[in-house]
């Protein structure tokens, strides 16, 4: 896939602050619902976001779950309207937790999308190894991406996101194609379970780490998207020059992924500081200084020689005492 430009001198990214079909990066510092209502219908090939989970992050005010879902229902109605006829919505959600009880948000969101007429194509599980540690339940290590389409005739570029086959030498053992290779020369379908990229070359599972303290894409935002997570969706569900919208854009990871792959992108966010960070990240991307975790890069695996990967001396002493 080609980038939006072959060199920073060749084509400048045109940033606007209200939707403009002639721009390629729109940064809207406004209320999400009101902005969605102002956008033209059937415009965006891909709408992708991780909405606020209503858990009291710095950018959200926690409300009653029913009120939160009613608000999200209005958002979904407007997203359906502005989604193109052959377009998709990818909604990445986790859990809402109240007094220790877990409410899986994908269960609540599914009927809301169905009510507006969307069709679920995949429920993708994104697994990661790091996150908050729980002490009264098992620590959560996955979130869900719900991929819906507006209709039956939708864009899906599987060849753009295939992963290497584990056994590329397999051949048909019967039928008209006996003796011929049975796989696809471009690789195999990566499946609906996205986890360790280091295993991708072994079993076709995708590894995308979440953005934590030592991640190269870490910003002031507490829950930003990994660019490569969006990038895979952009490659699979859009074509060059298509519009991609993130209605809860944060610091613009979806916008970076879009322009990186030759698409046009728009984000909406009510926090001015995140819009400013996004603008700075776009400038860094264009001049080649933005730190981005490369698509497909293996996650670091400790060798056992690092001090932090070794058992503390206190634990070793306890083990010795317990073994006596």
3 state DSSP class of 58: coil
- Residues 125-168 pLDDT 10s: 888 776 677 778 887 777 899 999 999 999 999 999 888 888 88
> Domain for residue 291, yes or no?
yes
Yes or no: say if 282 and 251 are a contact pair by the CB < 8 Å rule: no
SS3 label, residue 215: coil
What confidence tens digit (pLDDT) does each residue in 261-276 have?
999 999 999 999 999 9
The answer to whether residues 230 and 253 touch, using CB atoms and an 8 Å cutoff, is yes
How many domains would you assign to the chain? Answer: 1
Whether residue 131 is contained in a domain is answered as yes
DSSP SS3 for 270: coil
Confidence of residue 322 (pLDDT cuts 50, 70, 90): low
In 65-121, alpha helices (H): 65-82, 105-115
3 located within any domain: no
The set of residues, in sequence order, having a beta carbon less than 8 Å from that of 23 and lying 6+ positions away, is 14, 15, 16, 264
Listed in order, strand segments (DSSP E) in the chain are: 15-16, 25-28, 44-49, 83-93, 95-98, 101-104, 119-127, 142-149, 193-194, 243-246, 264-268
Per-residue pLDDT tens digits for 172-227 = 889 999 988 888 898 889 888 876 443 333 344 445 555 444 444 444 544 467 88
Task: Identify the CATH number of the domain in which residue 213 sits.
Answer: 3.40.50.150
β partners of residue 245: 47, 266
Average pLDDT over the chain, rounded to an integer:
82
pTM for this model (two decimals): 0.78
Which tens digits make up the pLDDT trace of 45-86?
A: 999 999 986 655 444 466 788 999 999 999 999 999 999 999
Residue 9 falls within a domain, yes or no?
no
User: End-to-end CA distance of the chain, in Å?
Assistant: 62
What's the pLDDT tens digit per position in 77-119? 999 999 999 999 999 998 888 888 989 999 999 999 999 999 9
280 occurs within a structural domain: yes
In a domain, 255, yes or no: yes
Residue 49's domain comprises: 15-323
Q: Is residue 42 part of a domain?
A: yes
Examine residue 6 and state whether it is found in any structural domain, yes or no: no
């Amino acid at each position: 896939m080609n980038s939006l430009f072959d060199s920073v001198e060749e084509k400048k990214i045109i940033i606007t602050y209200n939707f403009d079909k002639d721009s390629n990066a729109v940064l809207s510092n406004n209320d999400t619902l009101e902005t969605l209502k102002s956008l033209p219908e059937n415009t965006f090939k891909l709408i992708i976001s991780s909405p606020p989970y209503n858990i009291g992050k710095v950018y959200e005010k926690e409300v009653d779950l029913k009120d939160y879902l009613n608000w999200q229902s209005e958002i979904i109605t407007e997203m359906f309207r502005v989604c193109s006829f052959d377009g998709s919505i990818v909604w990445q959600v986790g859990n809402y937790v109240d007094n220790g009880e877990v409410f899986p948000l994908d269960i609540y969101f599914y009927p809301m999308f169905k009510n507006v007429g969307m069709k679920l194509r995949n429920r993708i599980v994104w697994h990661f190894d790091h996150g908050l540690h729980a002490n009264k339940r098992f620590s959560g290590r996955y979130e869900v991406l719900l991929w819906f389409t507006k209709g039956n005739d939708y864009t899906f570029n599987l060849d753009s996101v295939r992963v290497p086959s584990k056994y590329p030498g397999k051949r048909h053992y019967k039928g008209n194609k006996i003796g011929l290779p049975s796989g696809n020369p471009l690789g195999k379908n990566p499946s609906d379970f996205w986890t360790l990229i280091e295993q991708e070359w072994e079993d076709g599972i995708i590894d995308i780490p979440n953005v934590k303290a030592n991640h190269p894409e870490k910003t002031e935002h507490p829950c930003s998207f990994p660019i490569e997570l969006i990038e895979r969706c952009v490659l699979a569900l859009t074509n060059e020059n298509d519009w991609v919208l993130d209605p809860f854009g944060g610091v613009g990871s979806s916008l970076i992924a879009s322009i990186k792959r030759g698409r046009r992108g728009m984000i909406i966010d009510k926090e001015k500081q995140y819009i400013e960070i996004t603008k700075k990240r776009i400038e860094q991307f264009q001049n080649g200084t933005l730190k981005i975790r490369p698509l497909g890069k293996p996650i670091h695996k400790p060798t056992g020689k690092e001090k932090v990967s070794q058992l503390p001396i206190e634990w070793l002493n306890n083990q010795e005492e317990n073994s006596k």
